[in-house]
Amino acid sequence: MRGLFRTGAGISGFVIISGFALLAMATAAGAIGSEWWQTSAGAWQGPGAEHWFGTNRLGQDIFARAVYSTRTAFEVGILVTIASTLLGATLGGLAGWYSPGWLDESILWLKGVLDSIPFYLLIAAIAYAMQGSPWAMHLGMTAAFWTGTARLVRGEVIRLKEREFVAAARAIGLPGPLIIFRHVLPNTFNILLVQATLVFVAAIKTEVILSFLGIGTRDSISWGVMLAESSQEVLAGRFGNFLAASGFLFVLLMGFNLLSDAMQDELDIRGQTA
């Protein structure tokens, strides 16, 4: 952590993400943004002390909608990141440990099939096929994102299984699965940490795109829904939804990119000096 904060990029990214995370937690606790759906104000009101970003055509507060969308982004990002990282680490670890072999070939075949399908088409197809389920979007993104993590972990496990500590574990009779999950996979944490950050960013962007297309977030609000609404509003000279949603999204993604770059640089340095 000390190394991460040596650079301005690391500090800036951490501050931005921490600010958005606190905003998401405050929204989840009902302290702010929980009444985004209310239509108590007049339509198309301009920015002011009561409504910082103005109101939309229904009289809903745009700032409250943008703030609540932060909670939606973090919920999707956290769930998809955890699911895809665990799945990718497990399958990648097994593939690398049992390489070469039928299990490795089976996992590689599955990864090849999923990677051969265009990224957004795969997610959209799964989300559309399960549109009655609130978890359709999460499942679609998990199915698309785990392959990248598995590929990185597999390569690292193939390298690690030739190390002395693995030979020592085998010599004392530890079973293969125990060696994988207790001794080998923990040594891939640096890869998983950086990859999880990238998946978090990709999940948020994908949710915005799917919601913009109408197959993402349902019965709630997200930046993608706001951008979809703004596609007609900007023609009438109303830019509140567009500026709020795109501004929040831009700042959050910039913070994650700054932090992931700083993490990558620090972990690379540690790996070179180890």
Question: What is the phi-psi region of residue 30: left when phi exceeds 0, alpha when psi lies from -120 to 50, beta otherwise?
Answer: left
What per-residue confidence (pLDDT) applies to 272? 46
Cα–Cα distance measured from residue 115 to residue 74, given in angstroms and rounded to the nearest whole number: 26
What per-residue confidence (pLDDT) applies to 110? 92
Query: In angstroms, what CA-CA distances link 259 with 122, 174, 208?
Result: 29, 38, 21
Angle between helices 62-97 and 136-160 (to 10 degrees): 40
Judged against a pLDDT cut of 90, whether residue 88 lies above it is answered with: yes
What per-residue confidence (pLDDT) applies to 3? 64
Per the structure block, which two tokens stand in for 105? Answer: 């070939």
CA angle at 120 for the pair 118 and 121, rounded to the nearest 5°: 60
3-state secondary structure at position 41: coil
Per the structure block, which two tokens stand in for 30? Answer: 């009902």
Per the structure block, which two tokens stand in for 144? Answer: 């698309």
Bridge partners (DSSP) listed for residue 61? 55
With bands split at pLDDT 50, 70 and 90, how would you rate the model's confidence at 49? low
- Of residues 77, 68, 110, the one with CA closest to residue 92: 110
Position of tokens 């500590």? 165
* DSSP letter string, 188-205: GHHHHHHHHHHHHHHHHH
Judged against a pLDDT cut of 80, whether residue 175 lies above it is answered with: yes
Q: What is the mean pLDDT of the chain?
A: 83
3-state secondary structure at position 62: helix
What per-residue confidence (pLDDT) applies to 1? 64
Judged against a pLDDT cut of 80, whether residue 213 lies above it is answered with: yes
pLDDT tens per residue, range 2-35? 666 677 777 888 899 999 999 999 988 877 767 7
Per the structure block, which two tokens stand in for 187? Answer: 């040594």
What average pLDDT does the segment 93-119 reach? 88
What per-residue confidence (pLDDT) applies to 116? 87
Cα–Cα distance measured from residue 156 to residue 158, given in angstroms and rounded to the nearest whole number: 5
**HSE of 53 in the Cβ direction (CA atoms, 13 Å)?**
23
What per-residue confidence (pLDDT) applies to 129? 79
With bands split at pLDDT 50, 70 and 90, how would you rate the model's confidence at 256? confident
What domains, with CATH codes, occur in the chain? Answer: 4-32+62-273 (1.10.3720.10)
Judged against a pLDDT cut of 70, whether residue 37 lies above it is answered with: no
66 or 124: whose pLDDT is higher? 66
What per-residue confidence (pLDDT) applies to 189? 87
How far, in whole angstroms, is CA 171 from its chain's centroid? 40
Q: pTM for the complete prediction? A: 0.85
Cα–Cα distance measured from residue 215 to residue 218, given in angstroms and rounded to the nearest whole number: 8
Cα–Cα distance measured from residue 6 to residue 106, given in angstroms and rounded to the nearest whole number: 43
Per the structure block, which two tokens stand in for 186? Answer: 């923990």
